Amino acid sequence: MNAAKVLDAKGLDCPMPIVKTKKAIGEIESGQVLEVHTTDKGAVKDLAAWTESTGHELLKHEDDSGTLKFWIKKG
């Protein structure tokens, strides 16, 4: 998937992955994709809830050997 920006939030605990994601999504254009990498297991629920409440779209997420990767389309 083609991401306009990749955010490395590995090693950060809640709420920092969300805080960093919010900042990074503000740096891309509407319709572009942000790729987020984190090791915080709570991010699966947190990012899903955050995207839903902010009008962005969680396109996909996967677990790549302990690194959770998310692709978020800016609304």
Please identify every residue annotated as catalytic.
14
Q: Which residues pair with residue 39 across a beta bridge?
A: none
Sign of CA dihedral 67, 28, 30, 50: positive
Tokens at 23, concatenated: 């900042």
